[in-house]
Every structure is written in structure tokens, then in C-alpha cells.
Amino acid sequence: MGVVFEVAALKVLSSAAVLLFGTVLLMATARRISTCAYLFAFQSLVLAAEVASVAYIQHSREAYFVAAMVFAVKVIAIPYALLWLMRRLHTPHDVGASISPGHSVFVMAGVIFVSFWAVRLYLRELRATEVTLAAAVALILSAAFLIVTRNKALMQVIALLVLENGIFLAALVTIFGMPLIIEMGIVFDLLMGLLLMGIFVFRIRDTFDHLDVSRLRRLRG
């Protein structure tokens, strides 16, 4: 029985990266904010599974706790909050893309290629770790791309969350996770940030009557 779990854990570790690449590509082609929220939930699910596998292999109880926390907060709470926000705001669902989703897919393919190429300089022995590290870099770069090319405020929030996912994964792969207390700190930080953003989004909407970041240019002199 334990052997099955072992094999499953190793399989999760090696194929998780591909699923993450898949979410990176799909987030580029998404046309609705809710789609991105679901993709983010799926991404966090994959991350939680990875943490759980690492926990199983390394027999560390802390890691189980982190996995549970990631699951509870990033897979369930935050996406639910985002979708609730969208429903309350009555915003249009459109993602506000300045580079059309059709062409963003090719940019993302290039991003994935670049992340592999960049990671090659820091090769480790395990094949799985190389792919996963590249996935982490790809998540970070794709989040940067999304922040720049998506004009809606909620998309910026989701992109920041994806960025945090990428950093989390990078930490997991290189140093097998940060200490528990730091992980909890980061998660609470995220929750606070989301709470603040939730309040501000209502204020922005009430003041400007839209949530389009590219139109917020009153700061110009």
C-alpha cells in the first residue's frame, strides 16, 4: 500500500510541472476573470498536492500542515472571495487584454522556453527538480506578463497571487519549503492584502465607475 503512495507521490512531483505549464497557457487564453480565478484555484491545488507529496516522502508533519493551509486558503477561500467580489461588483467579465488572448498564447510559449533556458544554468541532479524550478520561473514571468497586459483591477490581483504561487514553488523546490512560521506569515499577508484590495476595489468602482486600470491616469501631472 505504501508503495502505491510512494509511486503516486513521485508521479505527482514529476507531472505537476506540466499541469502548471498548462495553467500558465490557459490563463493567457482566458477571456473571463472567473476562468482565471478557477485556473488559479487549480494551480494552488496542484501546489498543495506537491507539498503533500514532499511531506509524504520526507515524513515531515509541518509540510502536511502547510499543504492543508495552502488548500484551505488558496484553493477554497481566496477563489471564493474573488468570485464573491465579482458578483457583488457587477463588473463586466471581460479580462481587458491589451494583447489578444490568441497571441498571448505564443508569448507564454516563449516564456516557458525562456524559463527552461534560464534554469539550465542552475541545474540540479534530479530531473524533476529542474522541470519544477522552470515551472516556478514560468509562473513568475507569466504573472509579470499578465500584470502588464491585463487592464482590469481584479486581473492584477490574480496575477499577484500567481506571482506568489511561483515564489512559493521556487522555495519548495530549492530549499524544500520555508519554515512553517514564515509560510503562515505569508499566507496571512495574502489574506490581509486581499481584504484591503476588496475594500479598495469598491472604492475605485464608486469613484471612477469602472475598474479599468489603463484608464486610471489622473496621477499624471
Partner 1 sequence: MRLAVNVAQLLILVLAAPALRGIIAKFKAHIQRRQGASIFRPYADVLKLFRKEDLAPPTASPIFRIAPVVVFATAVIAAAFIPVLSASSLLAARTDFFIFVYVLALGRFFISLGALDGGSSFGGMGASREALVSVLAEAPLLLALTSLAMLSKSLSLAEITRWTAGQNFFDLSPVHLLAFAALGIVAVAETGRLPVDNPTTQLELTMLHEAMVLEYSGPSLALIEWAQAIKLHVISALMIAMFLPWGLSTILTAGSLALALLLYCGKLLLLAGAIAVIESSLAKLRMYAVPDFLRVASALAILAVIFTVFIRK
Residue ranges binding partner 1 (CB under 8 A): 7, 11, 15, 17-18, 21-22, 25-26, 29, 101-103, 105-106, 108-109, 112-113, 116, 127, 131
Alpha-carbon Rg for the chain in angstroms: 18
Residue with Cβ nearer partner 1 (22 or 92):
22
Residue with Cβ nearer partner 1 (88 or 127):
127
* Number of other residues whose CB lies within 10 A of the CB of residue 33: 25
User: At its nearest, how many Å lie between partner 1 and the CB of residue 157?
Assistant: 25
User: At its nearest, how many Å lie between partner 1 and the CB of residue 216?
Assistant: 28
Residue with Cβ nearer partner 1 (113 or 122):
113
Residue 150's φ and ψ, nearest 5 degrees, are -110, 130
* Number of other residues whose CB lies within 10 A of the CB of residue 148: 12
Residue with Cβ nearer partner 1 (105 or 180):
105
User: At its nearest, how many Å lie between partner 1 and the CB of residue 119?
Assistant: 10
User: At its nearest, how many Å lie between partner 1 and the CB of residue 114?
Assistant: 11
Which of 111, 107, 91 lies closest to 155, judged by CA?
Answer: 91
Residue with Cβ nearer partner 1 (102 or 179):
102
* Number of other residues whose CB lies within 10 A of the CB of residue 9: 18
Question: What is d(CA 52, CA 46) in angstroms, rounded to the nearest whole number?
Answer: 10
According to DSSP, residue 32 is labeled B
User: At its nearest, how many Å lie between partner 1 and the CB of residue 17?
Assistant: 7
Question: What is d(CA 147, CA 130) in angstroms, rounded to the nearest whole number?
Answer: 26
